[in-house]
């Protein structure tokens, strides 16, 4: 099971594709809007509950200062995948969020994907789960094969003539 946590309800549209991809790979998920800054007690309680539920990966998405993934990683041993989001009000186009997630102190890692890249967040979660779940590993292999075949069929291996 994967938990998708976002810092604001305005982040939801950027994560819908992530949830759909998890569905297509046969991975259960649930989502919550919880802020590291505005709802810290509720976040703590939710994280503790995830450990009891057997959650395998947490996907945490945030923009601006983007502390959410790091705060979560500090509170659990469940792997955390961070998705930096480009906030509409941010001057740095999401790079502030990227750096916040990448520059974690030693001992508290956050696996970070590209800006607004919910697809890779879902795929990384699937790879983590697939390392011990044959069904998910086969679904992930099928996804990659389908993408490869689609690309080859579209361009027949040639672009320039």
Contact by Cβ (8 Å): 17, 118: yes
The pLDDT assigned to 41 comes to: 98
For residue 75, tell me if it sits in a domain.
Answer: yes
For residue 32, tell me if it sits in a domain.
Answer: yes
For residue 90, tell me if it sits in a domain.
Answer: yes
For residue 18, tell me if it sits in a domain.
Answer: yes
Number of domains within the chain? 1
Record the tokens describing residue 56, joined without a space: 């395998």
Torsion angle of the four alpha carbons 91, 81, 136, 149, in this order, in degrees rounded to the nearest 10: 30
Q: How far apart are CA 86 and CA 89, in angstroms?
A: 9
CATH number for the domain spanning 46: value is 3.40.50.1970
For residue 33, tell me if it sits in a domain.
Answer: yes
Is 80 exceeded by the pLDDT of residue 132?
A: yes
Helices (H), 28-161: 40-53, 68-75, 95-102, 118-130, 134-155
Contact by Cβ (8 Å): 34, 135: no
For residue 160, tell me if it sits in a domain.
Answer: no
> Does 10 count as an annotated binding residue?
no
Is 80 exceeded by the pLDDT of residue 89?
A: no
Is 90 exceeded by the pLDDT of residue 148?
A: yes
* 54-63, 81-90, 98-107: least confidently modelled range: 81-90
For residue 161, tell me if it sits in a domain.
Answer: no
Torsion angle of the four alpha carbons 95, 98, 99, 105, in this order, in degrees rounded to the nearest 10: 170
> Does 11 count as an annotated binding residue?
yes
152 vs 127: which has the higher pLDDT: 127
Q: How far apart are CA 83 and CA 97, in angstroms?
A: 9
For residue 136, tell me if it sits in a domain.
Answer: yes
> Does 8 count as an annotated binding residue?
yes
CA angle 28, 31, 35 (to 5 degrees): 150
The domain of 22 spans 2-155
- Write the Ramachandran bin of 159: left for phi over 0, alpha for psi from -120 to 50, otherwise beta: alpha
If you average pLDDT over residues 139-156, what whole number do you get?
92
């Amino acid at each position: 099971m994967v938990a998708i946590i976002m810092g604001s309800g305005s982040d939801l549209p950027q994560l819908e594709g992530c949830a759909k991809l998890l569905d297509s790979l046969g991975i259960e998920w649930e989502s919550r809007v919880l802020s590291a800054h505005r709802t810290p007690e509720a976040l703590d309680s939710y994280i503790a509950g995830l450990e009891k539920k057997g959650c395998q990966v947490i996907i945490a998405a945030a923009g601006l200062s983007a502390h959410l993934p790091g705060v979560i990683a500090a509170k659990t041993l469940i792997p955390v995948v961070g998705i930096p989001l480009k906030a509409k009000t941010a001057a740095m186009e999401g790079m502030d969020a990227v750096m916040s997630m990448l520059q974690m102190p030693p001992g508290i890692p956050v696996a970070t994907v590209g800006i607004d890249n919910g697809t890779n967040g879902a795929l990384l979660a699937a790879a983590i789960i697939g390392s011990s779940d044959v069904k998910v590993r086969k679904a992930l292999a099928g996804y990659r094969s389908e993408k490869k075949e689609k690309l080859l069929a579209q361009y027949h291996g040639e672009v320039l003539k």
